């Protein structure tokens, strides 16, 4: 049952990550349009600049769980790379339980009232022509909720690996094309 929950969390973060990645293109287009309007027509808007900031925040915060899912987060493997795979998994379990999950839960709990205050007060940007702030404020608890859920999923997968129920959840599948190239190379035979 826990592995089914883990697969559901993984699917959620995969879908969110793939959708939110498109904001990078939107940011680039909006930035280009804003620059063109500023230099060609001598017109600009704080709302456009703030929209870019909101989209950047969305990518950074909402893709944190996606990044953890794909094991692409920053790691310091100077010591752990010399340890056995089981020891590395135990370190991941310890780090998730005592560092990742407490940190994400604290930020999630502390950021919720900030969003609620912005929502209920109708907080606006202090810049002329700026945007309402609650869409940016909701990104923090939403992003940390996704990261918390992915941390739980990773914990489930690592414990299942230690129990011998699943293969190594961090091991990346080998690309078939590389294997074909190696097989054709006379130097590797």
Its pTM stands at: 0.84
pLDDT (tens place) for every residue of the chain, 189 residues total: 999 999 999 999 999 999 999 999 999 999 899 888 888 888 878 888 899 999 999 999 999 999 999 988 877 777 778 889 899 999 999 999 999 999 999 999 999 999 999 999 999 888 887 789 999 999 999 999 999 999 999 999 999 999 999 998 888 766 655 555 565 565 555
pLDDT of amino acid 170: 81
Q: What are the residue ranges spanned by the domains of the chain?
A: 2-188
Q: For residue 175, give both structure tokens.
A: 């690309």
Query: Is-contact 108 148, C-beta < 8 A?
Result: yes
Q: Which burial class, exposed, middle or buried, applies to 181 when counting CB atoms under 10 A from its CB (0-12, 13-18, 19+)?
A: exposed
């Amino acid at each position: 049952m826990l592995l089914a929950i883990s697969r559901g969390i993984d699917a959620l973060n995969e879908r969110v990550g793939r959708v939110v990645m498109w904001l990078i293109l939107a940011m680039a287009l909006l930035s280009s349009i804003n620059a063109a309007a500023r230099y060609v027509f001598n017109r600009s808007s704080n709302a456009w600049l703030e929209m870019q900031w909101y989209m950047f925040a969305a990518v950074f915060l909402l893709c944190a769980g996606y990044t953890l899912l794909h094991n692409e987060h920053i790691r310091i493997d100077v010591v752990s790379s010399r340890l056995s795979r089981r020891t590395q998994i135990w370190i991941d379990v310890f780090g998730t339980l005592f560092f990742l999950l407490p940190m994400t839960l604290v930020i999630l709990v502390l950021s919720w009232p900030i969003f609620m205050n912005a929502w209920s007060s109708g907080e606006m940007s202090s810049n002329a022509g700026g945007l309402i702030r609650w869409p940016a404020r909701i990104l923090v608890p939403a992003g940390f909720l996704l990261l918390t859920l992915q941390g739980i999923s990773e914990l489930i997968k690592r414990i299942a690996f230690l129990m011998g129920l699943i293969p190594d959840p961090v091991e990346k599948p080998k690309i078939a094309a590389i294997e074909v190239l190696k097989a054709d190379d006379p130097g590797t035979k």
